[in-house]
Structures are given as C-alpha cells and as structure tokens.
Structure 1
Amino acid sequence: MMSRRLAAGLSLTALSLVVAACGGESSAEEGADERYTIGIVQFSSSDETTETVIRGYVEYAEEQGWEYSKVDPQGSVDRAISAMNDFVEKGVDAIVVSVFPSDSLTAGVRAASAGDIPVISIVGGTAEGVPMSADAGRPNAEEISDLLIDDLGGSGEVLVLGYSAGLPCVGREEQLMDALDGTDIEVTREEVPIPGQVEAGTRIAQGWLADRPKGSGPLAVWGCFDDPSLGAVSALRQADRDDVLVYGINGTPAAVRAVRDGDMRATAFADAFGVGRDLAEQTPAVIEAGPGADARDVPLPTFLVTEDTYDEFATTHPEAVK
C-alpha cells in the first residue's frame, strides 16, 4: 500500500500549490496514473446534498478508473464506524465519510490511521487522521441569516429547524444566532431527525403555526438545510398561509423551484457536486501524504437564491435548475 501512495508523487502541500497555479490539471494527471480503492461511508441516502457531493466525487473517481464501494449507515455513528473498520480490513487507499463529525468517529479513524489510511470528511471537520474536509458550516449561513433579519425588520418570531448531530447545521445555526443577537426576534428552536426530515418539518411547523394565527406579527421559518424548510412549505400550503417567510440552505432542486415559485423566500445554494469533484481531485495527494498530513478545509461556495437572483442563478448554475 505504501508503494502505491509514494507513486502518487506529490505531497498535499505541493498539490495545493499546483492546483492554485494550474487549475487542478496536475492532480487529475496524478490520479489517472493510479487505480486507487476508495471506501465511501455515506450519511444517509435521503440526505440529498451530501449524496450530491458523493456523486461529484464518484464521477471523478470513475473518470480516473478508481475502484470504490459505498455503505449507507442511515445516520448511525456506530454503523459508520463499523463500515470504516470493514474498509480498513479490505485495505482501501482512503476512506471518505459524509457529515458525521470527525470527533465522533474516533474508533474508526484510529483504525484507519493504524492502517496508514487517511480519512477524508464531507463536512464533518478535520481531526487527527482526517486531514481534509469540505467546510459547509458558518459561511453558508451568513447571507441568508442577514436576509432574514432584514426581511423581518429586526423583530418578530422565527422557527429554527436544526440538526445538532451534523457539524454543518451546528455551524450554520451558530451563525444565525450570532446574527440574531441584539435584535428583537424571538426564536423557537426544534430538532429534526434524519431520515424523516421533511415530514418532521411539516409536523413541527403545523404545531408552531397553530399558536400563531395569520396577522400575529412578522413570522419566518429557518432551516439549517432545505429539507425541513420544504416540509414547512407543505404545512403553510395546507393551512392556506402566505404570511410566513421560509429560508433554507443547500439549494436543492426542490428548494430552488420553491423560491422561483414564491413558496420560499430564499435558499443558499451550495455547489455540492463541484466540491465533491474538488475533494476527489485532491485525494491522490492526501493518500500520498497519509493520515498525518496537515489539516486543510475545502470551502463550499454558496449563491443566495431569491426571486430577484433566480435568473442569474439559472444562468450561472443551469445544472441546478431542474
């Protein structure tokens, strides 16, 4: 296994410089020279955004002729660790893990490190043995949180649909709360499960709306990702309510359509497919450098999609408009 890694020929630091200077062409060439084996631990197949990241990763892997296999632990940390251990036993070159905070996967990461196998995280954060992660937390929530405050005029009520087991949602919610500090906006915070996030969003919003009749003041629903926000949209339709603004993050096709149609105020589109390819392009250097490489976060760019920016968004990201 070490010989395959040494053959990659670039350190993580060197690759970063090459990518910056040449747009990633050299990393693609390095990946094409090797037939790596990648173990992918999904979070939940029902989580559309992280599945899109994985699709971007897999597309690049297939172009390079890499072998890969996927396991869906359905949101269970224990199952994720078990899958990591299985991949270690199979002797993969790298393990990609989605969403689970890296510090919650200690047993799996230690096993991978003992086998000289680096772990790459999709939005779970870097840690010892996890030298690279996509960052989809606080930065993805900045613009949309500010927009909510402006729309409400600094007062009113907001229902926050959060998910504390996912690092991106934790960071996004922290960003929102910091932005709300000093305003007169009252917060009701509810946890949503995965799977079942859309249905939970509907159920929670229905109960919240029942205590806040139409005309009771500026109202909004903010989801740390799009799915529960779309559930809230369903609750509003059922209640024939048009007085509540709904915000989401990730920019799934369904959320983008809801913004276009006026059912959602905004979503922060995250280029999930693009960052998946970016992580894959840098994988050869991560493998070569090993689990002890210097930590590096890969940013997940966002685009604030509103009715006003929809046309620009559709032109810039036609693949996201379905």
Structure 2
Amino acid sequence: MTRMTFGISLLASLVLSTGVAAAQEKPLLGIVSIAATEANNVRYITGAKAAGEELGWEVSVIDAAGNADQANAAIQNFAQRGAVAVVDMVFPYSSIGAGLEAAKTAGIPVVTWGGGIGGAVSATNGSGAPIALPVIEKMVADLGENASLLALTYRTGEVCRNREALLDEVLAKHPGIKVTKNEVRIPGYFEDGAQYANAWLASNPAGDGNLAIWGCWDDPAIGAISSLRQQGRTDVKVYGVNGNAQAIENIKNGHMTATAWEDSRKEGYDMVKLLPEIIKAKADWQPKAVEVPAVLISADNVAAFIAEHPEATGN
C-alpha cells in the first residue's frame, strides 16, 4: 500500500511539474501602461490581451502610473524575463531610452501606443494629433474668432503632447481665442480638471463671451464638467478626445459638446496581431504606423453612434 501511494504521488508530481513547465513555455507579452485603470487604456489592454490569447501568449501588464522611470524599469523587467515583445502605452520613445536599450540588447521588439516611432521602436498606433484634429476643428468653428478657452494638458505622455502642439498650431490662425493652459496629473486628472475649471470659471463669468474647456483626453474634461454642473454653468462648451463611455454619456445628456472616439480595443488587438510578423522579420523589419481612424461624436450623431457601437458605452 505504501509503495502504491508513493507511486501515485510521484505520478501526480510529474503531471503537475509538466503542467507548470508548459505554462512557463508560453511566450510572455509585456505591456507597460501609463494609467492602467483609465478607460481608454483599459480598452487597449483588453484588445491586446484578446489578441495575445489567440496567439497562445501570456500577457502581463505593469501600471507605470504616469512615471517614465517606472516605465523604463518595467521594460527592463520584461527584458530580463525573456518577453517575446513589449508594448509601451503612451510614454514617448524619448522617455524610455533605458528600457528600449535593454529590450534591444535582449533582441525584444518594442511597439508603442501613442509613443511615436524612434529609437528602437518597431511600430506605433494611436498617435495623438490625428485623433484630436476633428475635435479641435469643430471647437474652433463653434467658438468663432473671439472666445476664451481652458486647455487641460498633460506633457509626460506623447499623445497629449502632440495634441497640445496641434491645438497650438490651429489656434495660431485664430488669435482672437484666448487660451489658458493647466497641466493635470496622472493620477489625479479628474480632480485637477475640476479644480482648474473652478479657478478659470471665476475669471470667466456667465455672459462673458464664448467659452470652452478642452481636455487633451476625455477625463480631465469630465472632471471640469463636475464643476460646471455644481455651479449651474450651461454657457461653457466642453470638448474631449478618446470617446470613453463617460464622455459619450455626457454628450448624450447635453453636458459635453464633442469628443473623438478612438477604437482603442481594435488598436490594441491589431498591434499585438502584428507582433509575430515583426518578430519573424527581425532586423529586416521596417518601422511603421498602423493607425485606426477616429470618429467625431457630437449631439448630432451620438444616438446613431451608440446604436452602431453599443460596446463603446459598455453595453
């Protein structure tokens, strides 16, 4: 009886160790996010994970919480763990040089979502400026030539940096629009959006001309909406970018003017599906952008958009 028990235990141990080894043999895909709980980041990660699962890869996400040093450390960590590839979410390639060097030394491709192409980056998508353009153009058309604008910016991320540069470029042609800029934090963007809006509203009372608030992505603008609603201000137009569920709901309810929906789930999915091609090509791979066009959402088309894309509202 003792010998049989030992034999069964040995067999169980072998089966268990074989299963663990098989799990460890799965290629590791590393994802480094600037804010892993932010709605647009969540959608991108969801798409990336779905593609990774289809490829038979293990997907690991590290939240760098808006800190470039943490992003570099995360990429270095994935390189040490022998990841098959790394996805950098939003941190500009110029801010992750140490991580890129570690990945390059280990022969691991790095792709970016909104981080641009440069250094050792193999591909990018989700580039900030093209997605923001339709919203900025609509905002300028809505405001006219004499107006005051609060711009909520964020310069650590390449996406918002590029969107701010585009805003500056467009507004240079409209000198009658007076701009106040405030940079929000990650984390803390909702609170900062509300706080900066309160200060700006105090110096821009109702009836003081055309007024608007623009967020380089939706969430700071949504924070500003909370201040507008608390003060009963209905005279201020609000614009965001990315088209998260809260923004779409705010447009539907008349609290936000427009956003540009970024199909970030598809962006994450498409980027990961491209990785086997990059890995196979090795040094022969030519870096490229694989963009997914944005969709402008406003009161004019929000109902039709929701009907066509119920998943964008979480339904």
Q: Same fold, TM exceeding 0.5?
A: yes
CA shift, 1:83, in A, is 1.3
CA contact (8 A) 1:271 1:300 kept: yes
Aligned to 1:153: 144
* Equivalent-residue separation in structure 2 for 1:279 and 1:197 (angstroms): 27
Matched to 1:176, the amino acid is: L
Please, which of 305, 309, 312 is the counterpart of residue 313 of structure 1? 305
CA contact (8 A) 1:130 1:291 kept: no
- Which ranges in structure 2 are unaligned for 5 or more consecutive residues? 1-24
> TM-score normalized by structure 1?
0.87
Aligned to 1:99: 90
Matched, 1:116 2:116: no
* Equivalent-residue separation in structure 2 for 1:278 and 1:211 (angstroms): 45
Aligned-pair identity in percent equals 38
CA shift, 1:36, in A, is 2.9
* Equivalent-residue separation in structure 1 for 2:43 and 2:231 (angstroms): 32
**1:1-322 alignment runs, 5 A limit:** 35-183=26-174, 184-290=176-282, 293-322=285-314
Cα distance 1:68–1:46, how it changes in 2: closer, same or farther (>3 A)?
closer
CA contact (8 A) 1:116 1:291 kept: no
The structure with the larger Rg is 2
Aligned to 1:22: none
CA shift, 1:97, in A, is 1.2
CA contact (8 A) 1:226 1:250 kept: yes
- Which ranges in structure 1 are unaligned for 5 or more consecutive residues? 1-33
CA shift, 1:309, in A, is 0.8
* Equivalent-residue separation in structure 1 for 2:192 and 2:272 (angstroms): 33
Moved more, 72-81 or 238-247: 72-81
CA shift, 1:65, in A, is 1.7
CA contact (8 A) 1:158 1:221 kept: yes
Which secondary structure does the structure 2 equivalent of 1:221 belong to? strand
* Equivalent-residue separation in structure 2 for 1:296 and 1:111 (angstroms): 21
Which secondary structure does the structure 2 equivalent of 1:65 belong to? coil
1:200-247 per-residue CA deviation (whole Å, 9 max, x = no partner) reads: 000000000011111011000011000000011000001110000000
Aligned to 2:13: none
CA RMSD of the aligned region, Å? 1.4
> TM-score normalized by structure 2?
0.88
1:68-110 per-residue CA deviation (whole Å, 9 max, x = no partner) reads: 2121121111111111111111111111111111111111111
CA contact (8 A) 1:97 1:120 kept: yes
Cα distance 1:288–1:269, how it changes in 2: closer, same or farther (>3 A)?
same
Higher relative contact order (CA 8 A, sep 6+): 1
